[in-house]
Amino acid sequence: MTAFIILGLLLFFLILGIPIAFVMGGLGLGLLLIEGFNPIMIPQGLYSSIDNFILLAVPLFLLMSNILLKGGVGKDLFAAAQSWVGHWPGGLGVATILSCALFSAISGSSVATAATIGTVAIPEMTKRGYEKSFVLGLLAAGGTLGILIPPSIILIIYGVITEESIISLFTAGIGPGLFLAFMFSLYSVVYARYKGQLDVLPRASWKERWDASLRASPVLFLAMTIVLGIYFGVFTPTEAAGVGFVLALMITLGRRSISFALIKEASREAMQTTVTIFLIIAGAKIFSKAITLYRIPQDITALVTENFTQAGTFLVVVCIILLIMGLFIESLSMLLIMVPVLYPTLLNMGIDPIWFGIIFVIMVECALITPPVGLNLFIVQAVGNATLWEVSAGVWPFILIMLGTVVVLYFFPALALYLPYNF
């Protein structure tokens, strides 16, 4: 009963429009004080929640992606992908997804991915006859690859909460991330064949492909350096973020596509986002301490194990809850609210936390593009100068593809677990 009261209060304050960091922190603090918890311990808990070397990767990845965004690298990525697949039916859609996947391997951010590629892809696709809602939905969905394909800020925070290996989580995200990119691309081809009236680009010559790929090669080198460096243990995720930032700065300065004013703007935006994320993490730390004191995770574990003896049934219930929460709560808050509650249950039911982490992130991806609070919807709406209705109308096929991917992961867990446990 206590769990439902606390959850009800949480949702009530969120509906009132109070920022999630202050809702979780304030509610958690109130619950702790009611139980006689020493308030002197609160500042220590806040400090310890963000005093983590791994979390240093968050502002560095954000800064790197903002530098690349301001430096206009999305144009080169899209041009390179377009030169190889633009002549296919739906080739511009495939090029968009390929560009999103490549930028995801750099940024770790869905927002940066959607914004960077959207500024280039949306005008080009609409000019070629693609329905605007499809284009906007494709960009919103493609942007979500930024939190699945490593490096991923969401997976970093999941790893910090659960104390699971960040590198294992990163490698586990590669297979599902590429599978999702393939399914999005396949849908683009099927969509184009069904519509039939879309303009198809002429096949690029080998020289054009070479030139376009050469212009994009510094960014591709950056992506490979980060992914392979982490994968082979050359550097930690935090060190990879630092290396990536330096390389991003070198690339954009070498291209003369960024100025001091743009660097300053990118730094300010990265700082603002970092402060928001860390405030939410700190608030979630207090809330997590409170619900642990009230034994809510233990009570939920007992409730689940008594009523759901099969892992499959448990996962279905969790996915339904996450879908509902995604309609009202943004992705990071979902992660910080639900994972501390669910993690003991996972261990008790013998569910692999690395595998579950990938499923959780895919469900968070759905939350990023489900109205009314899907963050990617607002980013694409702003970039595409569209209405929220136009963006929302285009995302539903991609949400179904994401849910289908969760089903595939359930029956074929090796899609996520093969790399982390065999290399």
In the chain the first and final C-alpha atoms are separated, in Å, by 45
Cβ atoms within 10 A of the Cβ of 81, count?
A: 26
Q: How far apart are CA 133 and CA 257, in angstroms?
A: 31
Give me the long-range contacts of 35-38 (CB less than 8 A, separation at least 24).
Answer: 35/293, 35/294, 37/293
- What is the residue whose two structure tokens read 């599978």? 179
Exposed (0-12), middle (13-18) or buried (19+): which is 38, by Cβ within 10 Å? exposed
Per the confidence metrics, is the pTM higher than 0.85? yes
One-letter identity of residue 267 = S
Q: How far apart are CA 45 and CA 30, in angstroms?
A: 15
CB 91 within 8 A of CB 200: yes
Q: How far apart are CA 113 and CA 90, in angstroms?
A: 20
One-letter identity of residue 264 = K
Rounded average pLDDT per 10-residue block, the chain, 423 residues: 74 76 83 74 67 82 87 87 89 92 85 86 87 92 89 90 91 94 94 74 90 91 89 87 92 87 91 85 80 72 70 85 78 81 84 94 87 81 86 92 95 94 81
